[in-house]
Amino acid sequence: MTTAPVVSAGRRGQLRSVSHIPAVDGLRALAVLAVIAYHFGLPLHGGFLGVDLFFVISGYVITRLLLAERARTGTTRLAAFWARRARRLFPAVLAVLIAVQAWMHLCAGATMRNTVNSQTLAALVYGSNWYSIFAEVGYWGMPVDRAPLNHLWSLAVEEQYYLVWPLVFVVLMGMVGSRRILACAALLCAVCAYTAMHLLFVPGAPDRAYLGTDCRAGALALGALLAVLTVSPAVVDRSLPARATTPVAVLAGACLAWLWCNAHLDDRGLYSWQLALAGIAAAALIGSLVLTADGLPARIVGSRPLVAIGKVSYSLYLWHWPIWVFVSAAVTRWPASGRLTVAAIATAVIATASYHLVENPLRYTRMPMRFLVPGILAVAAMVACAAVLFQPSTPVEQRDDVRVSGP
């Protein structure tokens, strides 16, 4: 058992205790708003890169928590870590899957139901990205307006990373005990991921490069590297004066803004250097805000409106795409502005309700895991049964025992 080192009085002005950082929530808000703008058809061509900002934030936050636990207790309880992640993320996903399955059985067509049932099963095991790759229902496969669970690929990438990176953390910190080695491992992971993305890119069919965990782990690894560099061995955030970090924040923010306005999913440059640049800029921006939490950039990004949106960003991300697909299918004759308005309002209302009724209560519940886990698994089993047992009937013209004649 180890305890956190004592911080001398001379260093207290340069260090802050590890705690909640409002600016990180503000960055989550900007990321989810960019993704929603892109998916809703607004002129933000690279808004999908908000996902990479999410990835860097997730890698940073998770590694920060792992470092804090190890400094506080001298060990890392992997089972408890994975249980907390599951309790934090899985119930909200289940709520979306239940709603989409209900829609499929009540009024959706057979073509969409086939795709959704497969996507549902993939989502339950956090394999959505690999299903999209091999079933060719990613951004360049089946039309996205027939795949309301397409966006869950990014959650699958994060969960797969959450499964592997803590193991690497435990091995390196347990066997070597060197944060320098841990930083080198994170950097090596980022370099290998971005290299794999470049090598696996195929013009006109970049799903493998864009959706594969091995290719997209680069941003998560950069977040992990940032945590190792900015959290001191005393489990406190390092601090720098604003004059040193503000120019970095402005430059990194401008770089991300340019990429979000100009990047394109099918552009070779995206996979050669733009995604890597987006990850580096995101890490630089997060680092500058964390290192000077009282600076002007951190205060702007950490403003109350952005923090409020950031707190529900996970629910906003989960619900916005199924709602958009539903609205687009239900009111095809409406003008784009009308569909956009309805989808935006519905997303805000339903996501807020999901946050307060599902996400937050189960995240902070005092119910023992031995009771909570069976309940969650039972709901997941029912969702799986709905996807497997209630398949749409085969159209008449495709049945083997029916011959269709005519022009």
Per-residue pLDDT of the chain (407 residues; tens, 9 = 90+): 333 333 333 333 344 445 678 999 999 999 999 999 999 999 999 999 999 999 999 999 999 999 989 988 888 899 989 988 988 899 999 999 999 999 888 877 667 787 888 899 999 999 999 999 988 776 665 566 678 999 999 999 999 999 999 999 999 998 888 889 999 999 999 999 999 999 999 998 899 999 999 999 999 999 999 999 988 765 556 777 888 889 999 999 999 999 999 999 989 999 999 999 999 999 999 999 999 888 899 999 999 999 999 999 999 999 999 999 999 888 878 888 889 999 999 999 999 999 999 999 888 888 887 778 888 889 999 999 988 887 665 544 444 444 433 33
Domain boundaries, the chain: 19-389
**pTM, entire model:** 0.89
The Cα angle at residue 60 between residues 57 and 63, in degrees rounded to 5: 145
What is the rounded distance in angstroms from the CA atom of residue 153 to the CA atom of residue 309?
22
Are the beta carbons of 20 and 304 closer than 8 angstroms? no
What is the rounded distance in angstroms from the CA atom of residue 382 to the CA atom of residue 390?
11
Helix (H) or strand (E) holding 240: none
Are the beta carbons of 170 and 160 closer than 8 angstroms? no
What is the rounded distance in angstroms from the CA atom of residue 377 to the CA atom of residue 182?
34
